[in-house]
């Protein structure tokens, strides 16, 4: 089985690539504009897939993959970057090109920010009202892909990731900012009231879920990649400070919560639990 990973050098991609490489009978093809974070043994294709989105030979250039895990996305940590909107059509054209070339299994990284302001459990039927350019673009890409593949024999998996922690020096989360502030010698970090409750998922666990969901085709559609258990952000941050021995305190209430941050939001885990059970013999490390 040939599996192409786009955005392979990124925050999630480099972990997904290495996990895939550990599975017997899977040939990994990694594509990105840089391979600085990837093992030299990985089959790497240096290519800007968005610029080549309409290239009729792109499928062959990318090694004629059987499955695609599409993680490539610019400015993912900047929710109001205009690039999200400007590059949306290129993502769609790239995936449409791959589908028309014969790829039957495609997994695409989504985000909880597609939902917008919402309180409670998120499932397949939860309405989406995104409030950031990032959420809007991801939501539109999902709608376009499901509409385009509606009458096609395609296993399309929309991998909706929730709030990611881990490998914080490569992240751009509030944990990363606190780590950077502490390293600069700052003793106080301005914060919200910390009461919002989010569904946090650690990067290594998320990467395993991405791989397990993508290599199977029995479960498709929207698949939440999450813990299913909301935690107050202040608890997560205070634990991070303690676990890392940081000499810094939070200034609660210095900032208001972002208008698109829900009071309590978490994902339904039925599909990912079913997938993990189906793939329980895969000893992904």
Residues noted as catalytic: 134
Contact 179, 215 (CB under 8 A): no
What's the gap between Cα 267 and its chain centre? Answer: 14
Nearest to 77 by CA among 160, 191, 177, 194: 177
- Tell me which residue of 267, 123, 130, 259 sits closest to 196, measured CA to CA: 259
Beta bridge partners of 113: none
Q: How far apart are the first and last CA of the chain?
A: 19
Cross-strand pairs, 29: 4, 43
Q: Which residues contact 251 (CB under 8 A, 6 or more apart)?
A: 188, 189, 190, 191
CB 194 within 8 A of CB 237: yes
Report the alpha-carbon distance of residue 282 to residue 115 in Å, rounded: 32
Taking CA atoms, 219 is separated from 112, 115, 146, 177, 216, in Å, by 19, 21, 15, 37, 7
According to DSSP, residue 266 is labeled: E
d(CA 223, CA 106): 13
């Amino acid at each position: 089985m040939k599996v192409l990973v786009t955005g392979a050098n990124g925050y999630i991609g480099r972990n997904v690539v290495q996990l895939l490489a550990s599975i017997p009978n899977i040939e990994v093809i990694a594509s990105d504009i840089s391979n600085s974070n990837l093992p030299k043994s990985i089959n790497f294709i240096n290519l800007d897939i968005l610029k080549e989105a309409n290239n009729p030979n792109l499928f062959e250039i990318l090694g004629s993959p059987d499955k695609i895990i599409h993680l490539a996305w610019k400015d993912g940590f900047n929710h109001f970057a205009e690039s999200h909107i400007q590059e949306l059509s290129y993502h769609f054209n790239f995936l449409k090109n791959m589908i028309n070339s014969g790829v039957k299994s495609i997994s695409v990284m989504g985000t909880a920010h597609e939902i917008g302001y919402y309180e409670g459990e998120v499932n397949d039927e939860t309405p989406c009202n995104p409030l950031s350019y990032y959420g809007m673009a991801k939501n539109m890409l999902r709608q376009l892909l499901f509409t385009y593949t509606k009458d096609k024999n395609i296993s399309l998996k929309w991998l909706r990731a929730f709030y990611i922690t881990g490998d914080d020096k490569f992240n751009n989360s509030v944990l990363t900012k606190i780590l950077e502030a502490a390293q600069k010698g700052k003793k106080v970090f301005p914060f919200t009231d910390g009461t919002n409750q989010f569904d946090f998922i650690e990067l290594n666990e998320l990467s395993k879920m991405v791989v397990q969901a993508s290599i199977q085709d029995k479960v498709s559609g929207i698949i939440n990649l999450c813990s299913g258990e909301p935690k107050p952000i202040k608890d997560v941050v205070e634990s991070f400070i303690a676990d890392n021995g940081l000499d810094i305190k939070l200034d609660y209430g210095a900032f208001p919560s972002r208008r698109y941050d829900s009071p309590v939001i978490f994902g339904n885990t039925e599909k990912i639990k079913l997938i993990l059970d189906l793939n329980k013999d895969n000893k992904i490390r």
